[in-house]
Each structure stands twice: as structure tokens, then as C-alpha cells.
């Protein structure tokens, strides 16, 4: 890994919070992510399962966490890691040993993964409840089942006397509230992202290609110990910015157009998620300026509206009302239309199709319960946008916000966002 080892207290803290919510006499089993294979013997770069990393800090494949909740409320923890050998060391490099696994995770009992089945068999004889990392909701599957989901199905089929309980509701509750250590990691991811934006501001000009901008970002990220992009980057110039999940990044940046950049670095598995919209030639046109200022005003107001006790649905309705007023000012909607609109299909959705905020952390759309009210300690994005397809104009602005008791904190405050600052920086070349 490129980043320094993290303090195991972070993962001890997470496991203690989990243990406090377990039923006495139960087991918890969480697997690491499966390696993702390409054709032949190729594999994609390994990405650890977010829940497993959250509980252990272990970034290695073929690892398992086992927690035994005693009848007296005490918990025993066992971590299993892959045993290495000379062939693995030659082809893949050294794997972590038992002592290193203890240091990283804070778990004193560490065994080789090959011992898991026999230890589990003994434990199954003395429990009737197992918490497993699977989604209890019956949703259509778009992807192959994970190791956790396969294990859940296997145990349910083979041990009908044991109740399989989904860990998802507990992990949603825990992961929505970020510790100080987690916030620090998101801030570090944001700081690396800022360096990328600074580099791109100096690079951007008419005639560059979107993929060249993507290359500037990834070069700066890797140079600063990031594993790379926290999600597929969006580099959308001109009308491409009206495609919400545009990822082709193969267009030419043309004089007079804007380029929308939705890019965030990953650091220590934690993500930043930042969006800025810049003029390709370093100057906003009057119309671009007008729409940009509208989006920025909504973003600033939306950040203040994101307050404890409010659900995201309530919050999005409030932001929608702000958007209606701005779209009227921009000549895109009329007041009379708004009065007569169907409340279930608000007209502002023509120009603003997505929600304003999502949770952020180990995943860019972090594990969360969207029915839950906003609480201090949550980290959410604020990302309004206006997309005018008929004008080939799309503008989105986004920052990462830590919810406070009385005031929210922008975790990425230094990435240029004001028009004057952007133009000044771009014209100093």
C-alpha cells in the first residue's frame, strides 16, 4: 500500500460499536472481497470489501473476521489471513504474517485462513444466530454474488436451525457517523484532489482532450500516495456535461465551452468527491456566468439547509424550491408553470435531475439509510447542478460536508470555486 499504516484504534473502535449491538450468544462472519479476474490469468487491482476494511483495516484477499458474542456480553475476535509460501512470494510478493495482521487490526488472535472451517464447525454447535454481511432485502442481482452472500446462502441451506441475520442495518447505522479519524482520511483524500485541480487549472486550454485532463489528475494523485481515482472520473466538456454519468472522456475541449470535472482521489480506501466547472479558455461568457452563479448560490444555501433532524427527502424538497426560483430567473421556467405543475413531477427536474446529497466515506456513495435523518458526524456531498441540453451547457458544483451540531464544515474548502478566483488563476499562465 502507498499510504502509511493506519492506527488500529480506528478498527477497534468500529468493532466495539458493532459488538454493542449484537445479540448475546451470536456469531459474526465477514469475508474479504473476491479478487476480480479478467480473461486468462489476469486480475484487476484488488479492492477490499468496504465493510471488511471498516472492521479490520486488512486490505488483503482471502481474509475472514469472526466475532463471537458471549452470553455475558463479552466478545471474542478471531482474524484469519492467507498463509503465504515461496511460490506466492515469488509471483505476488510477501503477504502479511500473523504478527503484522495483529498490529494492523488490533485483533490479538490471528489464524491462517485454512483453519477457518474447523473453528467455525465447532462454534456452529453452540449458536443459533449468525450475523452475515448480506442484504436481507430481495433485490434483483446485477452482479455475481460476493463471498459474503455465497456464505449466507450456504449456511441458510445447510443449517436450517440457525437464524441468519443481515449485518446491513447495523453497518448502515455505524458507517453513517464518521469518527474523527475517518474525517481526517477524507480530508487527506480531498487535499490530494485539490492538488489535482490545481494542476488541471494550469493545464486546461482550448484544444486539449478530455482524456488528457484525466491523465493530469491521475498523475498528481499517484504522486501523492493515492491509490488513484475514488470512482470513475467525469471529464465532460461542452454538451457532454449534460450527460450525468458521462465517463467516456474522449471529447475535445473547445474554445468558449465549459468543462465539468467530477473527480475525487482515494486515500487509505477513503474517498473525496469534488465537482468543479471551468471555462476552457479561462473566461466565462455572460450566460455561463449567470448559470454558474445560480448553481453556486444554491450550493451555498443547500449547505446551510443540510441540518440535523431533517431527512434527505425533506432537504431535497427545500433545494428543489430554491432551484425553481433560480430557473425562473434564468428564463427556463415560468412562475405560472410552477403553480400548475404536478407535485409528483416537479418541472425543475427538466434541468436538475439528480439529488443534492449522498453519504461519503469508504465508498463514494457510502453505505447509508436514506430514510434516516441527518445527524452530526455524517459526511455528505452537496452537489447541485443545472443542465440545459438545448444550450449545450451543464454546470455542477460539489463539496464534501461534515455535519455539525450548529454549523457544517466544508472538508474541501480550498479548491477554487468563485468565478473571479478561477479566471485569475487560469489567466496567470
**Residues with a known catalytic role:** 41, 245, 262, 273, 354, 358, 365, 383, 387, 396, 398
Question: Which residues partner with 64 through β-bridges?
Answer: 31, 80
Closest CA to 197 of 225, 163, 233: 233
Q: Domain map of the chain by residue range?
A: 9-175, 180-426
CA dihedral (157, 67, 374, 383) positive or negative: negative
d(CA 225, CA 310): 37
pLDDT of residue 137: 52
Q: Give domain 9-175's CATH architecture.
A: 3-Layer(aba) Sandwich (3.40)
Residues in contact with 132: Cβ distance below 8 Å, sequence separation at least 6, in sequence order: 29, 30, 148, 151, 152, 155, 164, 165, 166, 167
Helical (H) or strand (E) element with 210? helix 210-223
Tally helices (H) and strands (E) across the chain. Answer: 13, 17
Confirm if 364 and 271 have CB atoms less than 8 A apart.
Answer: yes
Residue with cell 441468519: 164
Query: Which residues make Cβ contacts (< 8 Å) with residue 332, sequence separation at least 6?
Result: 350, 351, 388
CA 219 to CA 227: how far, in whole Å? 11
CA distance 176 to 17: 13
Q: What are phi and psi of 179, to 5 degrees?
A: -75, 170
pLDDT at 310 (0 to 100): 96
Going by their DSSP bridges, the two strands 379-382 and 274-279 should be labelled as unpaired
Torsion of CA 274, 275, 281, 286, to 10 degrees: -140
The DSSP-derived string for 299-339 is: HHHHHHH--TT--HHHHHHHHHHHHHHHHHHTTSS-HHHHH
pLDDT of residue 360: 98
Query: Between β-strands 75-81 and 109-112, what pairing exists: parallel, antiparallel or unpaired?
Result: parallel
Reduced to 3 states (helix: H, G, I; strand: E, B; else coil), residue 49 is coil
Exposure string over 81-115, b if 16+ CB within 10 A, otherwise e = bbeeeeeeeeeeeebbeeebbbebbbbeebbebee
C-alpha cell at 392: 449545450
User: Residue 386: which H helix or E strand, with range?
Assistant: strand 385-388
Is residue 105 a contact partner of residue 13, using CB atoms and an 8 Å limit? no
- For residues 274 and 398, the answer to whether their CB atoms sit within 8 Å is yes
- For residue 394, count CB atoms less than 10 angstroms from its CB and return exposed for 0-12, middle for 13-18, buried for 19 or more: buried
**What predicted TM-score, i.e. pTM, was given to this entire model?**
0.94
Cα(374)–Cα(379) distance, rounded to whole angstroms? 10
429 residues of the chain, pLDDT tens digit each: 688 889 999 999 999 999 999 999 999 999 999 888 877 777 888 899 999 999 999 999 999 999 999 877 789 999 999 988 888 888 888 889 999 999 999 999 999 999 999 999 899 888 889 999 987 655 555 566 777 888 888 887 777 788 889 999 999 999 999 999 999 999 999 999 999 999 999 999 999 999 999 999 999 999 999 999 999 999 999 999 999 999 999 999 999 999 999 999 999 999 999 999 999 999 999 999 999 999 999 999 999 999 999 999 999 999 999 999 999 999 999 999 999 999 889 999 999 999 999 999 999 999 999 899 999 999 999 999 999 999 999 999 999 999 999 999 999 999 999 999 999 999 986
The listed CATH number (3.40.50.720, 3.90.230.10, 3.80.30.10, 2.60.40.10) that belongs to domain 180-426: 3.90.230.10
pLDDT value at residue 93: 81
CB 270 within 8 A of CB 186: yes
Q: How far apart are CA 106 and CA 10, in angstroms?
A: 9
Amino acid at each position: 500500500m502507498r499510504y502509511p499504516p493506519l492506527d488500529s484504534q480506528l478498527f477497534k473502535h468500529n468493532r466495539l460499536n458493532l459488538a454493542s449491538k449484537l445479540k448475546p450468544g451470536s456469531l459474526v462472519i465477514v469475508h474479504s472481497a473476491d479478487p476480480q479476474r479478467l480473461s486468462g490469468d489476469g486480475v484487476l487491482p484488488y479492492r477490499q470489501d468496504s465493510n471488511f476494511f471498516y472492521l479490520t483495516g486488512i486490505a488483503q484477499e482471502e481474509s475472514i473476521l469472526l466475532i463471537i458474542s458471549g452470553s455475558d456480553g463479552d466478545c471474542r475476535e478471531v482474524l484469519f489471513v492467507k498463509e503465504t509460501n515461496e511460490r506466492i512470494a515469488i509471483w505476488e510478493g510477501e503477504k502479511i504474517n500473523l504478527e503484522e495482521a495483529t498490529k494492523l487490526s488490533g485483533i490479538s488472535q490471528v489464524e491462517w485462513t485454512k483453519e477457518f472451517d474447523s473453528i467455525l464447525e465447532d462454534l456452529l454447535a453452540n449458536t443459533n444466530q449468525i450475523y452475515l454481511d448480506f442484504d436481507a432485502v430481495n433485490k434483483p442481482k446485477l452482479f455475481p454474488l460476493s463471498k459474503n452472500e455465497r456464505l449466507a446462502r450456504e449456511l441458510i441451506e445447510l443449517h436450517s436451525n440457525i437464524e441468519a441475520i443481515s449485518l446491513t442495518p447495523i453497518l448502515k447505522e455505524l458507517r453513517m457517523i464518521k469518527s474523527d479519524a475517518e474525517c481526517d482520511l477524507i480530508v487527506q483524500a480531498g487535499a490530494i484532489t485539490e492538488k489535482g485541480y490545481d494542476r488541471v487549472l494550469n493545464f486546461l486550454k482550448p484544444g486539449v482532450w478530455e482524456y488528457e485532463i484525466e491523465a493530469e489528475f491521475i498523475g498528481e494523485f499517484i504522486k501523492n500516495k493515492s491509490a488513484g481515482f475514488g470512482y470513475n472520473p467525469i471529464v465532460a466538456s461542452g454538451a457532454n456535461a449534460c450527460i450525468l454519468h458521462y465517463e467516456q472522456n474522449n471529447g475535445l475541449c473547445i474554445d468558449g465551452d465549459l468543462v465539468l470535472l467530477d473527480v475525487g482521489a482515494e486515500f487509505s480506501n477513503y474517498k473525496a468527491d469534488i465537482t468543479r466547472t471551468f471555462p476552457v479558455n479561462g473566461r466565462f461568457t455572460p450566460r455561463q456566468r449567470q448559470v454558474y452563479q445560480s448553481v453556486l448560490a444554491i450550493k451555498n444555501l443547500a449547505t446551510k439547509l443540510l441540518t440535523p433532524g431533517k431527512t434527505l427527502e425533506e432537504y431535497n424538497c427545500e433545494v428543489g424550491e430554491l432551484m425553481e426560483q433560480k430557473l425562473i430567473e434564468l428564463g427556463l421556467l415560468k412562475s405560472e408553470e410552477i403553480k400548475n405543475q404536478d407535485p409528483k413531477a416537479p418541472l425543475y427536474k427538466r434541468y436538475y435531475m439528480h439529488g443534492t446529497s449522498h453519504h461519503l466515506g469508504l465508498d463514494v456513495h457510502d453505505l447509508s439509510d436514506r430514510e434516516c435523518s441527518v445527524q452530526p458526524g455524517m459526511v455528505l456531498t452537496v452537489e447541485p447542478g443545472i443542465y440545459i441540453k438545448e444550450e449545450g451547457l451543464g454546470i455542477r458544483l460539489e463539496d464534501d460536508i461534515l455535519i455539525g451540531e450548529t454549523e457544517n464544515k466544508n472538508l474541501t474548502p480550498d479548491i477554487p470555486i468563485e468565478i473571479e478566483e478561477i479566471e485569475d488563476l487560469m489567466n496567470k499562465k
